Structure 1
Amino acid sequence: MTTLSDTDTLAAPSVLPDALLYIDGVLRGAEGGKTFDNIGPWTGEVVGKAADASPADVEEAIVAARRAFDTTDWSTNHEKRFALVKKLHELFVANQDRLAEIVRHEAGAALVAVHRAQLAQCLNSWRDLMDVYPQLEFEKDFGPRETYGFTTHRRAYYEAAGVVGAITPWNFPLYINAEKVVSALLTGCTVILKPAPDTPLAASIFGELAAEAGFPAGVINVITSSDPAMAGEALVTDPRVDLITFTGSTAIGKHIQRQGAETMKRVFLELGGKSAAIILEDTENFAQVVAQSILVFHAGQGCAVTSRLLVPRSRYEESKAILKASYDAFSTKWGHFDDPACPMGPVVSKKQRDRVKAYVDLGVEEGATLLSGGNIRTDLGTGWFIEPTCFVDVTNDMRIAQEEIFGPVLVVIPFEDDEDAIRIANDSVYGLSGVVTSGNLDRAIAVAKRIRTGTISVNGGVPINGDLPFGGYKQSGVGRAWGVEGLQDYLETKVIGWRD
């Protein structure tokens, strides 16, 4: 079994700097100097402190963002905005070592996750947004039209939506913070970033580097708080905030949508998933594809992970044997802090670890067979470690097949034919991502086109990049992030018609 080696040096307490608020162009502490502990998932110990914002601090941020939008040229000075966003990106690139330490200690990311999805995907996708920005239209001429016996000239103007409240999760904090902040800034909005309490410094760094880049006061504001709801509730219910963009659980997304309705606020939601990977029986390198389907990257803490593995019943026993061997082979390859080949560390918190374990126990109660894992691993240290876990003999009506666990738990479900696989994949309240593999590309694409999901990989293709729209069907969300489509969501449309 895995144990921490001598090279797996974990951080001592307070290895991270304080996470400060950034309000109206000033990096500062919270009202009254109040702070909360920043807990590291690898050790369960304090790795730093974060400013614990009060309602008065949130009020200051809203006032600053509103003033910066209403009284400055930020929303109309396109060249200035782009230059500052570019400068901020350059500062993030220059501070990659610091950023890596933040996501290691705050999000519990292992090094493979740090250098791929956590950091590289953040910086690369940010650059993608800047690359597609020139495609964004701020004016469109619809030409003249004769109506009621006279000619009207028509033109649309696409204007910044206003003040944006960005509420972000802890799983990929730099990447998701960048999506919301950069999209808002490029389109001329001002923004208040409210991160999850688990990852405050991954948000505070946006304020610190924005100050260094020279952003005008009030354009970017960052609020950290130990209370997961207080600041978010204030942003969602305040009429001075025009738009809410939220990534997180479907339950909280529904609450935000209800609360935002009181002020008819525009709300974009990127929510949960229970995505299916369909491996058809004619897949080339079938054993390799099945083996690589184990759910271990960043401990399964991703909304777009494929946590339901659908395999042909004709090859079900073969698939179970492949998976068992793959999980056994991986048993010593996770939980290593300093191993550059390690893709999986702890989950983010004790609360999350206990939640995942409760689902493991539920799966056993429901009658599924635990093929591998399922144990909390206190032998790995004092952090929040739970084993990579795989269930077989699962039916799609089980809760472990329907509910988002957000941990390293894979459920394996057999299907009879293509129609059955499509039915099972679509039998979910979610529709965020998916996978189809086949030796026949036309067959795979035909299956993929019938899956009710926002993104889907066929034969290993990558459908998620910063120049592509990302989002979900059904209860996986509303609106799109990234790409031109994601930027357009931050714009309002005004049409002017005039007579000569």
Structure 2
Amino acid sequence: MGSEGKALGVTKRLLIDGRLVEAERTFASVDPATGEVFGHAPDATVADTEAAVGAARRAFDTTDWATDRELRVRCLDQLHRALTEHKEGLRELTITEAGASRMLTHGNQLDVPIEIVRFYADLLRTYPLTEEIGVSEDRGRRHRRWIEKEAGGVVAAILPYNYPNQLALAKLAPALAAGCTVVLKAAPDTPLTTLALGELIAEHTDIPAGVVNVVSSSEVAVGELLTTHPGVDIVSFTGSTQVGRQIMAAASSTLKKVFLELGGKSAMIVLDDADFDTAAMFAGFTICSHAGQGCALTTRLLVPRESHDEIVEKVAASMSRVSYGDPAAPDTYMGPLISARQREKVHGMVERAVADGAKLVIGGEKVDPGFFYKPTLLANVDPDSEIAQDEVFGPVLAVIPYTDEEDAVRIANNSIFGLSGAVHSRDEERALRVARRIRTGTFSINGGNYFGPDAPFGGYKQSGLGREMGVQGLEEFLQIKTLATVVA
């Protein structure tokens, strides 16, 4: 895979129709821990993307990829092996390009995502692609009826920057298992990490030409093409709710199937009987995971009004222990934000929150060099304010007091989003009762970790459509055909 990590001059190639190709131009990839350019990615044009879609269409329509289960299992096994063998190179690249801390790459940034491929390879071996639904009688004849599950077609998979390995593999592995062909578009802020995946596919698997195509581009027109192209059957997008709305509208002209994993403003509810120390530790460290750049992170902390100041003090102590700095260092918990642009957005939201009456307890400061932002805690936040309603995507926690359990549930559900959430209580039955009242797609009870290749992930409301990972993640890429024949 060539030189990785912080080495200057890291370059990658597009994967189109089975060939690793250069583009006519490139764009820079920046190390967010230093603010310096460390590599360049090919800047695919609309014409390059047309070629990628054409290759995916041909591979789906003219080869047996969609019907050869054995081949797909073998290729997924090969991909898992290649990812495992090249994991350390991918780790250094992810640390440098995404600003992910080394410790996080041993979890959801790299090591866990690799096992998504293993999960779908194993699932494909046993997943029933046919289902008998019984014999019916009609007009004196008996009819055997059954269902067959077929590949959905050509998939346009469009990625954000925050978890480039996890999000790429959560789309790619089930799509390939289902028999689809794919055009995978890297995020402009983390292109090299995704292009490295294309290199592994080209060099270490038997995946046929055109089945997987990987492009990177700084052009908005490339993404627009993928969402409107008549040769694309399914769009799988992870990113902001605003862009998700635009993609859904664009895809409507050809009635594509759309999977959307969008924003979140998840609430952690600390009930009055909770262990405040444990809850404060979870709240403080969770919001600083990957510098707050996670759509499912609990960014609102709902606390009993009479215990507000006590819990704020405990959370502030927890956040003050968060180590931040060079993401390559083994003891760094939090790395930088992805860009100067994102840091300015975060800082602007914090400043407006304080102006609106929130109390800045700790943080609220930019740290140079690079794009670091100190862990930030805001107290006495109005539940209807911007900081409590809009996604920040930074290490900023908003503490909101509530009056009673009913009020806590109301505030938690007072959001256009419905991705995740959490609750803490010494009474697990009470916690579960509250969890079931919150309209979100995932939920943690007393620190329970739901995340894994076998667990479906997605949201209610404007947090998206569909589910990624688990059996449900495979089924997003399947079509259902009902058949019948006359029986004697």
TM-score range, shorter chain: over 0.9
Measured against aligned partners, the alpha-carbon deviations of 1:193-219 in whole angstroms (never above 9, x if no partner) come to 001111111211221111121211000
Q: Distance in 1 between matches of 2:327 and 2:237?
A: 30
Aligned-pair CA distance for 1:189: 0.2
2:277 equivalent in structure 1: 287
Residue pair 2:327, 2:334 contacting (<8 A) in 1 also: no
Q: Distance in 1 between matches of 2:172 and 2:76?
A: 10
Q: Alignment RMSD, CA only?
A: 1.3
1:217 equivalent in structure 2: 209
Measured against aligned partners, the alpha-carbon deviations of 1:281-318 in whole angstroms (never above 9, x if no partner) come to 2123x213213311211100000000001111121111
Measured against aligned partners, the alpha-carbon deviations of 1:323-357 in whole angstroms (never above 9, x if no partner) come to 22223333xx2113332121211100111111111
Q: Could you tell me which of 320, 325, 329 is aligned with 2:321?
A: 329
Q: Letter of the aligned partner of 1:339 in structure 2?
A: A
TM-score (norm 1): 0.94
2:394 equivalent in structure 1: 407
Q: Distance in 2 between matches of 1:76 and 1:305?
A: 39
Q: Could you tell me which of 168, 173, 190 is aligned with 1:182?
A: 173
Measured against aligned partners, the alpha-carbon deviations of 1:396-454 in whole angstroms (never above 9, x if no partner) come to 10100000001111000111221111111000000001111110110000000000000
Q: Partner of 2:252: helix, strand, or coil?
A: helix
Q: Does 1:205 align with 2:205?
A: no
Q: Could you tell me which of 356, 360, 365 is aligned with 2:355?
A: 365
Residue pair 1:133, 1:484 contacting (<8 A) in 2 also: no
Q: Distance in 2 between matches of 1:435 and 1:99?
A: 32
Q: Distance in 2 between matches of 1:472 and 1:338?
A: 32
Q: Could you tell me which of 80, 86, 100 is aligned with 1:95?
A: 86
Q: Distance in 2 between matches of 1:341 and 1:126?
A: 29
Q: Distance in 2 between matches of 1:84 and 1:474?
A: 36
Q: Letter of the aligned partner of 2:120 in structure 1?
A: L
Q: Could you tell me which of 1, 6, 9 is aligned with 1:11?
A: 6
Residue pair 2:33, 2:326 contacting (<8 A) in 1 also: no
Q: Does 1:164 align with 2:155?
A: yes
2:226 equivalent in structure 1: 235
Q: Distance in 1 between matches of 2:432 and 2:237?
A: 31
Residue pair 2:103, 2:333 contacting (<8 A) in 1 also: yes
1:277 equivalent in structure 2: 268
1:297 equivalent in structure 2: 289
Q: Distance in 2 between matches of 1:110 and 1:225?
A: 25
Q: Letter of the aligned partner of 1:481 in structure 2?
A: E
Q: Does 1:264 align with 2:251?
A: no
Measured against aligned partners, the alpha-carbon deviations of 1:69-117 in whole angstroms (never above 9, x if no partner) come to 0000000000110110111111000011111111111101111222211
Q: Could you tell me which of 463, 468, 483 is aligned with 1:481?
A: 468
Change (3 A) 1:134 1:279: farther
1:494 equivalent in structure 2: 481
Q: Distance in 1 between matches of 2:388 and 2:25?
A: 42
Q: Distance in 1 between matches of 2:298 and 2:126?
A: 32
Q: Distance in 1 between matches of 2:428 and 2:251?
A: 43
Give the stretch that moved more between structures: 199-208 or 87-96: 199-208
Q: Letter of the aligned partner of 1:415 in structure 2?
A: Y
1:26 equivalent in structure 2: 19
1:307 equivalent in structure 2: 299
Q: Letter of the aligned partner of 1:218 in structure 2?
A: G
Residue pair 2:268, 2:298 contacting (<8 A) in 1 also: yes
Q: Distance in 1 between matches of 2:449 and 2:319?
A: 24
Change (3 A) 1:377 1:87: same
Residue pair 1:135, 1:484 contacting (<8 A) in 2 also: no
Aligned-pair CA distance for 1:118: 0.5
TM-score (norm 2): 0.96
Aligned length: 480
Residue pair 2:73, 2:125 contacting (<8 A) in 1 also: no
Aligned-pair CA distance for 1:224: 0.6
Q: Letter of the aligned partner of 1:351 in structure 2?
A: R
Identity %: 46
